[in-house]
Amino acid sequence: MINALLDTIKIPSDLRKLTKDQLPELAKELRAFIINIVATKQGHLGASLGVVELTIALHYLFDTPRDLLLWDVGHQAYGHKILTGRKDIFHTNRQLGGISGFPKRKESEYDAFGVGHSSTSISAALGMAIASSLKGETDKQHIAVIGDASIASGMAFEALNHAGVSDANILIILNDNAIGIDPAVGALKEYLTKVKTDRSLAQNNIIKALNFDYSGPIDGHNFNSLLRELKRLKNKKGPKFLHVITTKGKGLIQAEKDQVTYHSPGHFDAKTGEIIPKNSKGLSPKYQDVFGETIVELARENKKIVGITPAMLSGSSLKMMLEEFPERTFDVGIAEQHAVTLAAGMATQGMIPFCNIYSTFIQRAYDQIIHDVALQNLPVIFCIDRAGLVGEDGATHHGIFDISYMRAIPNMIVCAPRNEIELRNILYTSQLGLEQPIAIRYPRGRGVLFDWKKPFKMIELGTGVCLRAGKDIAVLSIGTIGNNATKALEELPNIAHYDMRFSKPLDQKLLHTICSNFKQIITLEEGLKIGGFGSSVLEFMTKHNYKNTVTILGIDDHFTEHGTIEELQKINGIDINSIRQVIKNLGDQ
């Protein structure tokens, strides 16, 4: 592949040496470069393809890194990374030891703010702009690029509300492509759609009412339009807002047609765009699909069941319920706080809400979980997907905190099923008339069983099970990481293994038995050690004056970076071999 222009650009100052007439050719080369790398190395494709021209225009006109450029979420920042000194290492994107899939301050001075979660860019850019003003840097530019799905989030509106009454030198660029990961939803999305065709709305709109200098909509793939308007806005002071229309997946026909799939398509043919099919024959199901199929099965019998998700219909597999029960399925957009309190409101009226949110995102609704759900003891069923290490998305997306922060909440039940059957059964149990909230955590990826669609069985809350008897050492695991322990024990005799299932309430009867019969105890969890399941066992032992030796296996007090799940489990000492070695070392003592 010939990159006559792209190869000459190491940093944006090289880009600024090009003529305007050369920029379309550079865009073509940059788009092809992204396609070729992502086709083999995988990653987020459609979002970055959609902002190639905008990325080039921003670095061409603004003095980055002195001028501060922020990308909301960061899915769309691949072109930005390539143009800011990381082209030669872009093939390491999202790999262990390689560059992050998201902008990251410690990775480059061009990454003005670390991102991964949505709707933070306007607040951060406003903070920077106010700081620049206080330091007398009045000519400094502060640009936030945010998508139409992200701008509908409450935090973005809070920042707009503040920015509109400031004199901060901030430029907000709305990258409007009518889709996040799934299609954008809500009244604001409908409003933005109308603005594209109704010029009267464009001239008298909600953004102008918030005191922004609004311009647009303009074609985000037309360099003449982009450069002309960005140059004008560069010379204006105060809060400004540019509405740009783009096409997600631009330049790859399949990505333009199927924007959901090509958000992160996996391996595909760079020349044809066709996805290389994965051989899933003989593989166990994804946990998200176990949830999706099970909630549909339950909803057929229980008319009170409703499903709620904040913009993750496909990722959570709640789309299965939408297809069969659209009137009882709610995608509320990127609005985790609203999703939780919406579920609470439904619960007060006798509905049974299954609120499905990724572990890393439910953190954003912690106050609502405490104040609106647990304090009122409302039976909301939190289905926490992507719990544990998620792999290549890295520190912003690992779900390693939920055991610790959920078990700290009064009235909350915290459960981590070991496999697909256990997940089905706790979902079934939760809708039988629970009188308090429950958090059910399960990981990204596939399960361990093939024949998992068994008849439902009720699980007694707060009970564990003995998977294997022993006499020397007891391993107490919670969740799917327990399957690593099962494999680790295959070559080790006389080691007991208990699946505790619940970190709250603990099975105290079972713990008394374990503590009375084993001097050495190992706890295992795919979550933070501090405040986690192992901590709860130690609290129990302290309360009852047990003197057993306890070894806690889990995630240490640090942010785990990106890599494959297997690599990251090894780094954190919870892979099969590490577990086996810990047991051997204890046995030798």
Cα-Cα-Cα-Cα torsion 540, 543, 547, 551, nearest 10 degrees, comes to 30
State CA 289 to chain mean position distance: 17
- Distance of alpha carbon 157 from its chain centroid, rounded? 21
Could you give the CA distance from residue 280 to residue 144 in angstroms, rounded to a whole number?
40
Q: Which residue has the tokens 């899915």?
A: 75
CA atoms of 313 and 208, how far apart (whole Å): 32
Does 287 have pLDDT greater than 70?
Answer: yes
For strands 381-385 and 413-415, give the pairing.
unpaired
| pLDDT confidence band for 184 (50 / 70 / 90) | low
Q: What is the pLDDT of residues 317-337, one digit of tens each?
A: 999 999 999 999 999 999 999
| Direct distance between the N- and C-terminal alpha carbons of the chain, in angstroms, rounded to an integer | 60
Residue-level pLDDT at 187: 79
Question: Which letter, b or e, does each residue of 192-225 get, where b requires 16 or more Cβ atoms within 10 Å of its Cβ?
Answer: beebeeeeeebeebebeebbbbbbbbbebbebeb
Quickly state the pLDDT bin for 179 (edges 50, 70, 90): low
pTM for this one?
A: 0.94
Q: Examine the pLDDT at 182 and tell me if it is beyond 70.
A: no
364 is catalytic: yes
**φ, ψ for residue 535, nearest 5 deg:** -60, -40
Q: Strands, E, within 469-538: which ranges?
A: 473-477, 495-499, 502-504, 520-528
Q: How far apart are CA 364 and CA 335, in angstroms?
A: 9
Say whether pLDDT at 180 is over 80.
no
Q: Which residue type does 533 have?
A: F
How far apart (Å, rounded) are the C-alpha atoms in residues 185 and 331?
A: 7
248 counts as catalytic: yes
Residue 166: pLDDT over 70: yes
Q: What is the pLDDT of residue 159?
A: 96
Out of 53, 229, 336, 392, the active site residue is 336
Span 445-484, pLDDT tens digits = 999 999 999 999 999 999 999 999 999 899 999 999 999 9
Q: Where are the alpha helices (DSSP H) in 317-396?
A: 319-324, 336-348, 359-362, 366-368
Using 50, 70 and 90 to split pLDDT, how confident is the model at 264?
confident
pLDDT at 117: 94
pLDDT band at 48, cuts 50/70/90?
very high
Tokens of residue 147, six digits: 């998508």
Six-digit token pair at 12? 């944006």
- Tell me the percentage of the chain whose pLDDT exceeds 90: 86
- State the number of CA atoms in the 13 A half-sphere of 333 facing the CB: 22
Q: What is the mean pLDDT of the chain?
A: 94
Q: Write down all domains in the chain, each with its CATH number in brackets.
A: 64-247 (3.40.50.970), 287-441 (3.40.50.970), 465-587 (3.40.50.920)
* Active-site choice (86, 189, 319, 364): 364
Element containing residue 245 per DSSP (H, E): strand 240-245
pLDDT 10s digits, 189-202? 777 777 767 777 66
User: Burial level of 561, CB count in 10 A (0-12/13-18/19+)?
Assistant: middle
With cut-offs at 50, 70 and 90, classify the pLDDT of residue 278: confident
Q: Is the pLDDT of residue 395 over 90?
A: yes
- pLDDT of 206: 84
Of the residues 248, 418, 501, 580, only one is catalytic, namely: 248
216 vs 301, residue with greater confidence: 301
Give residue 205's pLDDT. Answer: 81
Over residues 238-251, mean pLDDT = 94
Confidence of residue 222 (pLDDT cuts 50, 70, 90): very high
